[in-house]
Structure formats: C-alpha cells, structure tokens
Structure 1
Amino acid sequence: MLRVALTGNIASGKSSVARVWARLGAPIIDADVLARRAVEPGSPALERIAQAFGPGVLEPGGGLDREAMRAIVFRDEAARRRLEAIVHPEVARLRREEEQRLEREGARIVVNDIPLLFEVGLEDEFDVVVLVDAPEAVRLERLVRDRGLDPDEARRMIAAQMPAEQKRRRSDIVIENAGTLEELEARAERVWRELERRVSG
C-alpha cells in the first residue's frame, strides 16, 4: 500500500486537491478530524490535558474548550509542546488504526491530509509527500477575499507557518496553484493518475 502525505500552507488549495482525490476514489485520512477525535470527552488524552492544564480548559459538558486551550498555547511555547506531547501520539495511533483498516479493505493508496506535516516532523513516515503551493501574495489575497480576514491578521497567519520554499525542497511532488480552480483540479487529477500508475506498475 502506497502511503501518501498531502500538505500545504494556509490558503494553498490543499483542501481542494483532497476533494478532487476523494472524488476519484482516494481514501483520505484527515489529521484535523483525528485530532478532534483524540480529545473527545472521556478520552485518555483529554483526561491528561485536564490534569496538565487544569479544569479551566474543559467546557461545562466535559469537552475541550478550544478557545481556552488556544489562548494558553498561543502565548506559551512550553505549554504548546506539552499539549502536542499529549495529543500527537494519540493522533498517530488513530492514524495507524485507520491505515490498517483501509489496507484490510484492499486500499492500494491511502492519503493522509496533514497541514502541519513538516512542522511536526512526519514527512519521513510516508512513501510520497505531495505539497500544494501558491505564491504568498496569492495566498494573502485568498485569505482576505475568501475568508474575510484583515490583511494584517492574514500576514501573521502566513508568517506563523514554515516557509513554503523549505517545504518545496522536502517534497516529492509539488502541485502549483497560482491560477484558477479548474487548473488546480486538472493538475490534482494528473498527480492522482500518476500515483495510481505507481501502484499498478
């Protein structure tokens, strides 16, 4: 089974590529979905988070108060690392379970959609790393136009991520997304067909 990582900085078009691939039959494991599952009420990870950060990070119903948690880790690097040390191993366990299930069901390719692939050092765990990228000016325009962000806030979000140039050097395939959605979808389909050829060859 070919294990593919799909990644890209904010407003790069990664989610659009994931949608095209899913439409073409790709099984997609979404890291954000796994991260939410990892801290569901009653989960061991959520219990450890409450022990580490106090009951103030829990909602009245027992779930994780994401706003409260974000406020803590945003200003405290050590707290962010402590949170990641709890959540990341649980996400990795859930990912392995999903991959094993898909392999049992006969999947020949499995795609892991991981926005922070390089930031958390996971790229070596996959057979192929696919990066979706667009020039910074284009991504800034998309954040302001499509998501309604203030330009300064959008710039801060872009600056907080690892520069795309570093990610490009460490990726096996780069899907360029400086043009239209139709152009991106055509490129995404070409790359998917190439991945299919690898496993059928």
Structure 2
Amino acid sequence: MTIWVGLSGGIGSGKTTVASCFASLGIPVINADEIAHQLTAPHGLALPEIKKQCGSQLFLADGSLNRNQLRNWVFADSTHRQRLENILHPLIWQGLQQAKQQISPDKQYGIIEIPLLAEKPEFQKLVQRILIIEAPVNLCIQRVQLRSGLDESTIRAIMTQQADSKSRKVIADDTITNDGNWPQLEQEVLKLHHFYQALPPSTL
C-alpha cells in the first residue's frame, strides 16, 4: 500500500517547488489547492452553495467567482472564512480521496500538498507522514509578491491567519528549509526520497 506524505508550509514557503522536485523523481503528487480551484472554477461544483450561503455579490456578471472580492470578504470577518471552509473542505476531502484511489497501489509513496495541514487536523488523517517546508518570512513575502502581485500588508494578513512555524513543526515528521539554495534543496528532497522509499508499506 502507498505511503502518503502530507506536504505543507506557510504561504510563500515553496511547497509547490518542493512538490515539483518529488514529481521529477516519478513520485505522484496531489495538490489540494488545484482541487479547490477546480471546485470554484466556472461551473465548479462548489459555486451554487457558495452563492447560496455567501451571497451573489461575490460573483461576476458572467456567473464566475470574483476571487479578489472573495478574498476581501473572507478577511473582513472570521465567520465568513468559516462559512466558506464549511462548503469547500468536505468537497476537497472527497477530491483528495478520489485522487488517491487513482494512484497505483504499487507506488511506494506519494505526496499530497495541503497548505492548511496544521490548521485543519482532520486533513492529517489522509496521510501517514507530514513534511513541513520552512523559509525565512521576508523571502516568503518576496515570493508571493512576484507570484501573485499582492502587497506586503495583505500577505502579512494572510500569514497571521495561518499556523505559525512552531505549530507546524509540532506536527512535522520531516522538515525542509527552502531558503533559495537550489542545489541544497535538491539534495534534501533526494535524501527524503530515498528515506521514504525505504519505509515499510502502509497498512492504513
């Protein structure tokens, strides 16, 4: 049976970069954010319930989700975020389970990239090990600015709603520091790759 490793970390830590390193080694990678994006894309399964529970003001004239408006709405009130998560998280869970079932059981291990693994303990039940990606805060901010164009205050606001480094390390079985040293990052991934390959098959 495949051993599933939950890959997580704060915004801008470089989770996707690390996941890509594992994928380049032939390891199956499942991304929770990609599933969430599919659920909220035009005609996505989550849209009717989001409109019903969160309001039509979050949608554009063509019926697609206004993601900027949604982000502002979530940050405006913590109950808004909870309402949205109550809609999305069961669907994301289902999507992750379905994706796992599509992977050959002959695979020794696989990676599931789940950004909120520390914040949402229920998702930890999907994996047998947890790999946390760490990076300096200023570097994380720079990465998000380049990737998404968000200003620093918005990025820091997102960070305050996420688990801190200490909380993530509490749940970690393994840790990688992604500080921009690419050769070192590749070596760390390769080291864990060999380690995971040597683990006894999962019985879960």
Q: Tell me how far apart the structure 2 counterparts of residues 79 and 109 of structure 1 sit (CA, whole Å).
A: 36
Q: How does 1:55-94 map to 2 (within 5 A)?
A: 55-94=56-95
TM-score normalised per structure 1: 0.86
Give the match for residue 6 of structure 1: 7
* TM-fit CA distance, 1:151: 4.8
Deviations 1:142-162 (A, max 9, x none): 556887765545444433321
- What is the letter of the counterpart of residue 119 of structure 1? E
Give the match for residue 108 of structure 1: 108
Give the match for residue 188 of structure 1: 189
Q: Where does structure 1 lack aligned partners over 5 or more consecutive residues?
A: none
In the alignment, does 2:117 pair up with 1:117?
yes
Q: How does 1:14-163 map to 2 (within 5 A)?
A: 14-103=15-104, 106-121=106-121, 122-140=123-141, 142=143, 150-163=151-164
Deviations 1:34-85 (A, max 9, x none): 0011223334421111111222222223222212222211111111111111
Change (3 A) 1:16 1:69: same
Count the aligned residue pairs: 200
Task: Say which SS state the counterpart of residue 131 (structure 2) adopts.
Answer: strand
- Checking the alignment, whether the CA contact within 8 Å between 2:3 and 2:128 is kept in structure 1 is yes
Task: Say which SS state the counterpart of residue 103 (structure 1) adopts.
Answer: coil
Task: Say which SS state the counterpart of residue 158 (structure 1) adopts.
Answer: helix
* TM-fit CA distance, 1:128: 0.5
Greater CA drift, 37-46 or 14-23 = 37-46
- What is the letter of the counterpart of residue 173 of structure 2? D
Change (3 A) 1:154 1:18: same
Task: Say which SS state the counterpart of residue 118 (structure 1) adopts.
Answer: coil
Change (3 A) 1:158 1:54: closer
Change (3 A) 1:114 1:22: same
Which aligned segments of 4 or more residues in structure 1 are displaced greater than 4 angstroms? Answer: 140-154
Deviations 1:10-29 (A, max 9, x none): 22222221111010011111
- Checking the alignment, whether the CA contact within 8 Å between 2:3 and 2:201 is kept in structure 1 is no
Q: Among all aligned residue pairs of Structure 1 and Structure 2, give the percentage whose two residues are the same amino acid.
A: 28
TM-score normalised per structure 2: 0.85
Change (3 A) 1:155 1:93: closer
* TM-fit CA distance, 1:115: 1.2
Q: Where does structure 2 lack aligned partners over 5 or more consecutive residues?
A: none
Q: Tell me how far apart the structure 2 counterparts of residues 5 and 151 of structure 1 sit (CA, whole Å).
A: 28
Task: Say which SS state the counterpart of residue 103 (structure 2) adopts.
Answer: helix
Task: Say which SS state the counterpart of residue 17 (structure 1) adopts.
Answer: helix
